[in-house]
């Protein structure tokens, strides 16, 4: 019985161990299966999130940036009269116009995107051109519109009345004691002289000497051309005083009845000359000066002289530099040999090659007058402008060598073109509206 019990006990013990072994194996199997499922789930979730992320991270939408734009004209030109013009403003931003000039009005002064505004100018009563800037701003941009208004037209009259544009210069001016030089070949390689009689026989030349549309007497001289002599460096369209008139039996040069002397000259010379002392008055406008050539030549022209035997007691210059709006007036006094160096006298502005715009200068086409007066050894030069104080300069020529025997004088007026380095077709031009002279006679 004890053996049966042991066998029974062993049977149940073996069955129990077998069951435990089976159960443990199953548990391990289930645990392994659960681990596999968890791993699979993790992979699935990882792939799912990658897919979601991939779907949600497409390229972002970039908004297009349009650059600012603001376009206006750079300049506008107006006549001297009251008038207005339309201005197109091409823009994609809001804009505003700033105007600091009291002779310009703008309407409207602001807008958005493309627009049109009206710019109006008051009448210009001054004889000089005027310029101002309108500043147009929009966004980060700024533009400048320059407004240019022409000078007032001048009404020209002479002591004898209004000039006639249909007549040659000799009908509007007393040219009975003048001859003319123009830069055409006379046949011997020198400039052509138009005699007193020829000049007063209705002479005109459309290239050099003619009557302007306002009746003025035009002198126009190019850089290139023939000179009056081999000793002269520059071209000219210029009148030369001839006190003999049409009496060609009297020599052009010398102390004789064709020329005059200073009142301080020896009495013998005063008796031999046509007259002594002198005064010349001219009213004119310089219309054009050169913009090419050497810096010492650009923009200068001689508009009046007293010429002696070989020297000039006075040469009056007008000069306007290329970048200036206004011109200067100055003169040279050249003593005779052995009596000192040439002297320069500035009257309005500076004669410098790099002068700033002269504050009180004279514009092209602005009418002014000059007076050259000699009494004895005293030379007085006067610049006259309407509405402004006269500019006067006096020098004593007692030591200049012109008060000795044998020195004779004559006036010159017109355009002596002291630029021989500019372009051949560059030119100087002046229009005279009055020209008178007088002397003291014995």
Q: Looking at the domain assignment, is residue 320 inside a domain?
A: yes
Specify if 43 maps to a domain.
Answer: no
**Residue that wins the pLDDT comparison between 127 and 345:** 345
Give the domain extent around 316. Answer: 157-440
Q: What is the 3-state secondary structure (H, E, C) of 352-419?
A: CCCCCCCCCCEECCCEEEEEEEEECCEEEEEEECCCCCCEEEEEECCCCCCCCCCCCEEEEEEEEECC
The pTM of the full predicted model, rounded to 2 decimals, is 0.66
Judge whether residue 2 has pLDDT over 50. Answer: no
pLDDT tens digits, one per residue of 399-438: 999 999 999 999 999 999 999 999 999 999 999 999 999 9
Does residue 254 have a pLDDT over 70?
yes
The residues pairing with 111 across neighbouring beta strands, listed in sequence order, are 95
Are 98 and 166 contained in the same domain? no
From edge to edge, which strands make up the β-sheet containing 110-112?
75-78, 141-149, 130-138, 94-98, 110-112
User: Is 397 inside a domain boundary?
Assistant: yes
CATH of the domain at 74: 2.60.40.10
199 and 329 co-located in one domain? yes
Residues 182 and 290 in one domain: yes
Last residue of a domain, one of 100, 115, 149: 149
Do residues 183 and 320 both lie within one domain? yes
How many domains is the chain built from?
2
Does residue 167 sit in the same domain as residue 141? no
Q: Residue 304: is the preceding peptide bond cis (ω within 30°)? A: no
Distance CA 353, CA 331 (A): 15
DSSP string, 210-261: EE-TTS-EEEEEESSS--SSTT--SEEEEEEE-TTTT-TTS-SSSSSTT-EE
Residue where a domain stops, chosen among 118, 149, 180? 149
What are the pLDDT digits (tens) for 195-221? Answer: 999 999 999 999 999 999 999 999 999
Reported as a single tens digit per residue, the pLDDT across 233-246 is 899 999 999 999 99
Q: What is the pLDDT of residue 427?
A: 97
* 376 and 397 assigned to the same domain: yes
Same domain, 281 and 140: no
Angle (CA) 394-377-260 rounded to 5° is: 115
**Within this chain, do residues 194 and 267 fall inside the same structural domain, yes or no?**
yes
The pLDDT of residue 64 = 75
Structure-token pair, residue 15: 């069955």
Residues 377-384 have a mean pLDDT of 97
Q: Is 119 in the same domain as 248? A: no
Residues 320-344, mean pLDDT to the nearest whole number: 96
Determine, yes or no, domain membership for 17: no
Closest residue by Cα to residue 252 from 260, 261, 237, 242: 242
Q: Look up the CATH number of the domain holding residue 173.
A: 2.60.120.200
For residues 92 and 231, membership in a common domain is answered with no
Answer yes or no: do 276 and 396 share one domain: yes
Q: Are residues 123 and 162 in the same domain?
A: no
* Per-chain mean pLDDT for the chain: 88
């Amino acid at each position: 019985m004890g053996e049966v019990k042991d066998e029974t006990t062993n049977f149940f013990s073996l069955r129990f161990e077998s069951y435990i072994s089976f159960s443990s194996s199953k548990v391990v199997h289930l645990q392994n299966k659960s681990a596999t499922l968890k791993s699979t789930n993790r992979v699935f979730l990882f792939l799912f999130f990658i897919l979601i992320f991939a779907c949600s991270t497409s390229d972002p939408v970039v908004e297009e940036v349009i650059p600012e734009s603001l376009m206006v004209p750079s300049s506008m030109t107006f006549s001297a009269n009251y008038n207005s013009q339309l201005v197109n403003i091409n823009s994609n931003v809001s804009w505003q116009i700033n105007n600091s000039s009291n002779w310009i009005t703008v309407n409207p002064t602001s807008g958005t995107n493309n627009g049109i505004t009206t710019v109006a100018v008051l009448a210009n009563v001054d004889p000089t051109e005027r310029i101002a800037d309108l500043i147009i701003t929009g966004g980060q941009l700024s533009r400048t519109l320059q407004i240019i208004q022409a000078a007032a037209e001048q009404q020209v009259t002479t002591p004898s009345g209004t000039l006639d544009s249909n007549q040659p210069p000799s009908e509007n001016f007393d040219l009975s004691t003048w001859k003319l030089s123009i830069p055409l070949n006379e046949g011997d390689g020198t400039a052509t002289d138009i005699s007193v009689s020829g000049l007063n026989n209705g002479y005109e030349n459309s290239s050099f000497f003619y009557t302007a549309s306002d009746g003025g007497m035009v002198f126009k001289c190019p850089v290139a051309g023939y000179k009056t002599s081999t000793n002269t460096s520059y071209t000219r369209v210029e009148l030369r005083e001839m006190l003999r008139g049409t009496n060609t039996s009297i020599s052009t040069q010398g102390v004789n009845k064709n020329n005059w002397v200073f009142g301080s000259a020896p009495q013998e010379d005063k008796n031999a000359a046509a007259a002594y002392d002198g005064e010349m008055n001219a009213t004119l406008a310089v219309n054009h000066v050169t913009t090419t050539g050497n810096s010492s030549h650009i923009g200068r022209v001689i508009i009046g002289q007293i010429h002696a035997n070989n020297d000039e007691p006075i040469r009056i210059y007008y000069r306007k530099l290329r970048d200036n709006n206004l011109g200067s007036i100055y003169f040279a006094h050249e003593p005779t040999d052995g009596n000192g160096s040439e002297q320069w006298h500035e009257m309005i502005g500076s004669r410098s090659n790099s002068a700033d715009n002269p504050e009180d200068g004279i514009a092209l086409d602005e009418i002014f007058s000059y007076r050259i007066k000699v009494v004895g050894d005293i030379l007085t030069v006067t610049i006259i402008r309407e509405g402004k104080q006269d500019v006067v300069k006096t020098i004593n020529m007692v030591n200049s060598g012109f008060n000795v025997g044998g020195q004779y004088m004559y006036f010159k007026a017109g355009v002596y073109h002291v630029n021989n380095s500019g372009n051949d077709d560059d030119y100087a031009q002046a229009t005279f509206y009055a020209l008178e002279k007088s002397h003291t006679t014995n």
